[in-house]
Structures are given as structure tokens and as C-alpha cells.
Amino acid sequence: MKKSILLFSFLTFVFFNLFGQNTEIKKVEYARTEIDVPTDYNAKDDYSIENNRFSAQWLYLTKEMVQQGVEKQIIQQFEGQLKYSKSTSVEFVSNGGQFSGNKYQLKGNNKMKFRILAFGSVDGQPLVLNLGFKDDPKSDGDLDDLMKKFIQFKK
């Protein structure tokens, strides 16, 4: 029951942040790293950044939430909402932290054709990372400087 309430609270938070007021945000904080929002990107809140080729959202978790497996529930909830034709496992580095998750090739006329849902830790802060891509991210060469702050593929 406690997990359901937590999941409902998270989804409510995400909904209001995605569809809430639009004010110009110049910087976002990703764990302990402050990131300037480039001119070709925008940020709707302190936990997301996007443009027409890439989007990133992150959700901080407490150590207690991780001990209870909440990150798995959140990822399953997101995955359940995706319509995808292919899923592959992926491991990468995000701002120095190790992440693992899945990359999804999405069906339909989505602006973002690929999505990565992953869990890891940045600066000791556990978090769930939700990345969207217009084009299939296969290597670091496919990424701009901002994208590389969120994902760098293991060699």
C-alpha cells in the first residue's frame, strides 16, 4: 500500500510538472551538477530538459526507496505506458555514475523514436533516468555536448 501511494504521488508530480506552467529556466541541477540550459534547449522544471532531438527527466530516490525496490516499480510503470517494438538492455555512464536499464524503439508517430529508462547513482544520489531520442543513440558520436552530460556509452 505504501508503495502504491508513493507511486501515485510520483506520477502526480510528473503530470503536474509536464503540464504545468511554462517559465523560462536557465539552469537545472542534475544531482550536484548545475547545467546551463543551452539556447536550443528548454527546461520546464528543475528535473527535465529537452529540445526537438533529445529529452531528459530524472527522479531522485532515497536510499530507503531503493531498498524497497521502488525504482523497479517506477521503471515498470513507465514501461507499461510505452508502445514499443523492440527493447534491448543498455549500460552507460551518466555524469560519472553507472546506470543500467533498457532502450526502447517506440511505435507510432512519436517525436522521440527511442527511449531509455535506467537506474543508477550520480554523486551518491540514486535516481531514475528517462531519456528520449529522435534518432537511435548508438555511440557517443551520436550525442551533442548536453546529451553527453546524461549519457556516455561504455567502451
Residue with cell 550520480: 122
CB atoms within 10 A of CB 82: 15
Q: What confidence tens digit (pLDDT) does each residue in 16-59 have?
A: 555 555 558 899 999 989 999 999 999 989 999 999 999 999 99
Half-sphere exposure of 33 (CA within 13 A, CB side): 16
**Phi and psi torsions of 49, nearest 5°:** -155, 145
Q: 143 falls in which pLDDT band (50, 70, 90)?
A: very high
Q: What confidence tens digit (pLDDT) does each residue in 74-121 have?
A: 999 999 899 999 999 999 999 999 999 999 999 988 889 999 999 999
Exposed/middle/buried for residue 74 (C-beta within 10 Å: 0-12, 13-18, 19+): buried
141 closest CA partner among 125, 122, 155, 124: 155
How many domains are there within the chain?
1
56 closest CA partner among 105, 98, 118, 108: 118
Q: 14 falls in which pLDDT band (50, 70, 90)?
A: low
pLDDT value at residue 120: 96
CB atoms within 10 A of CB 155: 6
pLDDT value at residue 62: 94
